[in-house]
Amino acid sequence: MNWFDRAVRAALRLGWQRGVMEGRQAWAVIGGLALLGYLGRRAMHREAHVIFSEVLQPGESLKISHEPAS
């Protein structure tokens, strides 16, 4: 876990504890910003799922097509 992830987790925890539970508005804003950072980072770091993988030999080719679902 890198420094950004640790900082976001700490801000989320403190924002919830001090902002929501204790009613401190500034901490609620910090927690909300941390939540946006968490969701933004999660959206940007999505990995593509590999459906098919095969090694092609020299001279071989691969045709990709799409047919509508029936």
pLDDT at 69: 79
Confidence of residue 67 (pLDDT cuts 50, 70, 90): confident
pLDDT at 27: 93
pTM over 0.75: no
**In the chain, what are the domain boundaries?**
3-44
First to last CA, the chain: 44
Mean pLDDT of 43-54: 81
Amino acid identity of residue 3, one-letter, is W
Per mean pLDDT, which range of 3-7, 18-22, 55-59 is the poorest?
3-7
More confident residue, 51 or 46: 51
